[in-house]
Structure 1
Amino acid sequence: MTGEQTPFNIDMAAQNRRLAYALQAANVGTWDYDFGTNQVQWSPICKALFGLPADTDVTAAILLQQVHPEDRDRVHASNMQALNPTSKGDHDIVFRTLQMDGTIRWVQAKGLTLWNDEGQLIRFSGVVQDVTEQVVARQQLEESDRFSRTVFYNSPVAKLVYVGDEMILREANEMMLAILGRTSSIIGKPLLESVPELKGTQLTEQYHRVLATAETYVKLAEPIELIRNDVPYQGYYNYTYKPLLNTAGDVYGVICTVIEVTTQVIAHQKLEEAEAGLRNAIELAQLGTWSIDVAANRLTLSDRLIEWLGYDPQPQTFDKIISGLEAGDRMPFKRALAWALNPESGGVFNVTSTVVHPQTGQKRILHAQGKTVFDAAGKAVRLIGTAQDITLQRNMQQTLENEVSIRTQELAVSNQELAASIDEYAAINEELEEANRLLYQSNNNLQEFAYVASHDLQEPLRKIQQFGDILRQQFGDQLGSGVGYLERMQSAALRMSNLIRDLLSFSRISTGQEQVELVHLGPVIDQILIDLELRIQETGAVVRVASLPSVNGDASQLSQLFQNLISNALKFRNPSEAVPLVHIQSEMVAAMNLPPAVKPARLVNTYHRIDVIDNGIGFEEQYIDRIFQVFQRLHGRSEYAGTGIGLAIAKKVVVNHGGAITAHSAPGQGATFSVYLPA
């Protein structure tokens, strides 16, 4: 019998050792209360989990003191419950322990009590293990969930969540409910049942497209008719569909962000009307416009001035203008120009000169007025102004002066012959003086008119626009082909307004940023898309924006940069493409990996490369250097509107920010403009 027990005892000892090794490997501590022998055993790992050295003699009271003060009562109550004969004897509790280094550890204790048939407590044993990582992870997850829901429901932007093929409305914040004119009772129901007026929109089709493709969809200035609190309402909205993915990576719904832009759309429409009025007024005033880049000695002329002067439409050097003046007017013109470029002059330029057409020899008397733009150091940067043809007025003035001269000569002869007629001579002399006075007053009036025409056109422009509209609306049938002249007048004014606006934009971009700060490009692009929402809507374009970086720079200049690039992508769309596409993306590029042709203005280790990609008409890459120059155009004005300044502005902004810009394209295959900015 003894021989049969020996192998059993050896097996049990081996099993106990294996169990001890397994518990030690798993960093699990053990305890055992033997109430029969009144002995207590604590494993070294158990002591360590309570923040005590392995060689410490401990008691239950000592271990309880190592429990976090806020958890002691709960742990003590759980222990007493496990030792209560009426309980099941299970013990399972998570609590904090105090460590020797002052930190806190979360542990989980699991135990079981054993009773004999007489109901006497025999044993209370169990294990304890570290669950700090699990507890902290769960707390962070709960906090993240609370934060996300707080952000969602308290967001100033309208948001909702659709799920399933039926577009079940799972979540909607107060801003979204206000836009829909509904209460929270619609949550949990199919959206199109709760808001049936949305059935006529593209919301359903685009929702299912996002479910199928997992691609974000952005729509700008979508006109939508709603029934708000039983009252019809039509507004304009920007909305974005972003896919929601489950843990398997499958799309199960979308989160929709909505911004009402009704006020901005209406304001933009009114602004366009005002700009049209300004263009009409400048055209009707028959003014020519010009601009001088002082540093480059480059002169840019409007179409009217090019016609008057007979010059090539390409930008000219300023010396060519002076050579086209009559010899007697060249030196006064130079003096007036030098004085205007002097900060003490206030930048005012005002001169009258006679120009000679190089082909026809026709002479015109032009009254030029302008204003110099100075930089912060007082250096002249640009001179911008207008010119008016006053040949007719001057001819009339000369005719009057000739008549006065003749009359004076005749009176002198008469005075010699009729010395006795003093009274008559005096009367005639007074008449001549009055004529001179009237002539002088007329000349001043002409000068004042020219000044007002070039500096204060707002009110006349408004009236011109109104009268033009009246002519078109009330007398369009009677004007016949005259309607075409009205349209040509408005078109020419539009070109002039765009030129003035672009020249001002170009001149306002200084050689450095006005305010350097960390600029998040994502919101910058979002605002640009809001500004271009009408053009995007008209062209039916789809604009996709990937995650964009933050860069140090001037937010206003960076906005001009990307607005010009996106506007070009929309303008030069390919007629053979059903849907114009614009994709904006970004990646980091090390300086050593930059293309050889890319020469940033400032050397750093890495650069952000932001690509604006379109499927437009494209261009020959041999013209890349040319397209970034002022007034350089690859297409005729009749094909595509514009002044040829947009890409020059883009290049100037990039250089100001220490970067570089280049492009890749081929005719009919779209274009990619790549902007490199220091990281």
Structure 2
Amino acid sequence: MSLLSAITGKRWVHPDETAMLQRQLSDTRQKLENTELLNQNLRTQLQDLNAAHTTHIQTLERRHQSAIDQANQSMRTLQGLHEQLTQSLDLETLRHLKENEALLNQLNWLSGTIAHDFRAPLRAIDAYSFFLADDLGSNVPPEAIKSLDEIRRNGQRMGVLLDGLIEYLRMSVCPLNLQSHDLTETVQQVINEHFDFSPVPISVEVRGLLKFDKPLVMRLFKELIDNAVKFSKGVPGAQVQIRQHGMDTIDIIDNGVGFDAAFNRQKFQLFHRMHGNDEFPGEGIGLAMAERIAARHHWQLSLSRLGERTVAQIQLSNHPAQQFQQTG
């Protein structure tokens, strides 16, 4: 075949080689067809994936738009409710302001009436008791003198009670002047002005800056310290301690005679006394005043008996607007 190829100038292939080449060509053609089929499948799958992706994106966009529309609708609904609530609150606030104004006018009228109209009969009783004693002269029986003295004494006591009631009413409605004050200086000023010669030693351990109406809070501490001193007088080893716990609690502690637990509910009532007139002086005004001042500052005042000690506790942290700062 090499000679024949040389003669003819063409390459002659042996039949066996031809068969092998044909098989190779057939295999190559089959591979090409398989590759084309695979490419076609891949193109189809890619098209399906693109279509699914597009559909998914469109679905997400529709859902997102639906969520946006629902959110906008909810926002519009909330805005409408807010406007309604604001209008309702404005009306409610206006109603409360009118009610408070009416109450303030009534309290002012009542305090004026007590201050003037109620005092006239008391002055008349006091004056006519003197006139009666003068008319009777030296022939007045001892029993009559005692009765006239009792009339005048009760008239004077009634005047003190009226003064306390007027002050309590005015304290309940007077505007507050809230400023930052040093608590140590405030309590020490109360002691210097009212308890310089106290028969019972008083110790002070408070510190910090607090917003309050200073004249009213000085009155609060004055009443609580006076109460502690009064009921500790004559008790062996008596002492009054004013102590602070953390930043929100102040205790006024004494080891005096204390009070009966039966009076727990009435101890802050105006004119309520926990001891008889023959035991301790007072008209049952001080604790009521202290509790009213504390309430106006959104503080909580409590009075309890713990063993041999009486504790008046002022809780300062009942109102979120309170600003208390530790110093030193």
- TM-score, with length taken from structure 1: 0.27
Work out the CA distance in 2 between the residues paired with 1:584 and 1:513: 28
* Correspondent of 1:562 among 221, 224, 237: 221
2:257 alignment counterpart: 617
Report the 3-state secondary structure (helix = DSSP H, G, I; strand = E; otherwise coil) of the residue aligned with 1:626.
coil
CA distance 1:378–1:490, shift in 2 (3 Å): closer
Decide whether the 8 Å contact of 2:200 with 2:232 is kept in 1. Answer: no
The match for 1:675 among 286, 303, 314 is 314
Write the letter of the residue equivalent to 1:514: L
| Amino acid in the other structure paired with 1:632 | H
Identify the structure with the greater strand proportion.
Answer: 1
Q: Given that residues 238 and 254 in structure 2 are in contact (C-alpha distance below 8 angstroms), is that contact kept between their aligned partners in structure 1?
A: yes
Contact 2:122–2:155 (8 Å) recurs in 1: no
Q: Which residue of 2 aligns with 1:254?
A: none
| Residue in structure 2 matching 1:506, options 154, 168, 174 | 168
C-alpha separation in 1, matches of 2:298 and 2:182: 17
Q: How does 1:126-141 map to 2 (within 5 A)?
A: none
Deviation at 1:453, TM superposition (A): 5.6
Q: How does 1:333-344 map to 2 (within 5 A)?
A: none
1:613/1:671 contact within 8 Å kept? yes
Instruction: Indicate yes or no: 2:107 matched with 1:381.
Output: yes
What is the CA distance between 1:486 and its match in structure 2?
Answer: 5.4
For 2:56, the equivalent position in structure 1 comes to none
The 2-side partners of 1:476 and 1:578 are apart by 47
Residue aligning to 2:190: 528
Work out the CA distance in 2 between the residues paired with 1:673 and 1:495: 27
Listed one character per residue, the Cα deviations across residues 446-465 of structure 1 (whole Å, up to 9, x for unaligned) are xxxx969629959x98x899
Correspondence list, 1:455-604, <5 A? 480=142, 484-485=146-147, 487-510=149-172, 514-533=176-195, 536-537=197-198, 540-573=199-232, 575=234, 577-578=235-236, 580-589=238-247
Say whether 1:454 aligns with 2:133: no
1:90 matched residue in structure 2: none
Distance 2:287 2:264 in 1: 11
Deviation, structure 1 residue 498? 2.5
Distance in structure 1 (CA, Å) of the matches to 2:276 and 2:246: 37
Q: CA deviation at 1:612?
A: 0.8
1:476/1:657 Cα in 2 relative to 1: closer, same or farther (>3 Å)?
Answer: farther
CA distance in 2, matches of 1:524, 1:487: 41
Deviations 1:570-590 (A, max 9, x none): 222364x2354211122325x
CA contact (8 A) 2:299 2:314 kept: yes
Aligned residue for 1:635, secondary structure, equals coil
Deviation, 1:653, is: 1.3
Deviation at 1:558, TM superposition (A): 0.6
Q: 1:649 matched to which residue of 2?
A: 289
Are residue 660 (structure 1) and residue 300 (structure 2) matched? Answer: yes
Q: Post-superposition shift, 1:673?
A: 0.4
| Structure 1: distance between partners of 2:117 and 2:271 | 27
Does residue 269 of structure 2 align to residue 629 of structure 1? yes
TM-score norm. by structure 2 comes to 0.52
Provide the rounded CA distance (Å) in 1 between the counterparts of 2:246 and 2:168: 29
What residue ranges of structure 1 are gaps of 5+ in the alignment?
1-373, 388-449, 590-606
Q: Secondary structure at the match of 2:264?
A: helix
Equivalent residue letter for 2:207: L
State whether residues 549 and 586 of structure 1, in contact with CA within 8 Å, keep that contact through their aligned partners in structure 2: no
| Residues 1:376 and 1:566: Cα distance change in structure 2 (over 3 Å) | farther
In structure 2, distance between residues paired with 1:573 and 1:638: 16
Distance 1:627 1:452 in 2: 27
Q: Is the 8 A contact 2:260 2:274 kept in 1?
A: no
Q: CA deviation at 1:650?
A: 1.4
* In 2: Cα distance, 1:453 partner to 1:512 partner: 23
Q: 1:558 to 1:564 in 2, by over 3 A?
A: same
The answer (yes or no) to whether the contact 2:255–2:310 under 8 Å persists in 1 is yes
Work out the CA distance in 1 between the residues paired with 2:163 and 2:216: 15
Runs of 4+ in 1 over 6 A off after TM superposition: 475-479
Q: Please report how far the alpha carbon of residue 547 of structure 1 lies from its aligned counterpart in structure 2 after TM superposition.
A: 3.6
Distance 1:631 1:452 in 2: 17
Which runs of structure 2 are paired with 1:79-98 in the superposition (5 Å)? none
Aligned pairs for 1:323-338 (under 5 A) are none
Q: CA deviation at 1:480?
A: 4.4
Aligned AA (1:573): S
Q: 1:621, 1:666 within 8 Å by CA — same for their partners in 2?
A: no
Quick one: structure 1 residues 455 and 518, their matched pair in 2 at CA, closer, same or farther if it must change by over 3 Å?
Answer: farther
Three-state SS of the structure 2 residue aligned to 1:563 is helix
Distance 1:487 1:504 in 2: 26
Contact 1:513 1:657 in 2 (8 A): no
Deviations 1:623-678 (A, max 9, x none): 433212233332233433333232222122112112111122158x2311010124
Q: Over aligned residue pairs, what C-alpha RMSD do you find?
A: 4.1
State the SS of the aligned residue for 1:514: coil
How far apart in 2 are the matches of 1:570 and 1:477? 45
* Structure ranking higher on relative contact order (CA contacts 8 Å, 6+ apart): 2
User: Are the aligned partners of 1:375 and 1:381 in contact in 2 as well (CA < 8 Å)?
Assistant: no
What is aligned with 2:93?
none
Secondary structure at 1:509's aligned position in 2?
A: helix
1:107-126 deviation line (CA, Å, top 9, x unaligned): xxxxxxxxxxxxxxxxxxxx
Cα gap change, 1:672/1:455 in structure 2, threshold over 3 Å: closer, same or farther? same
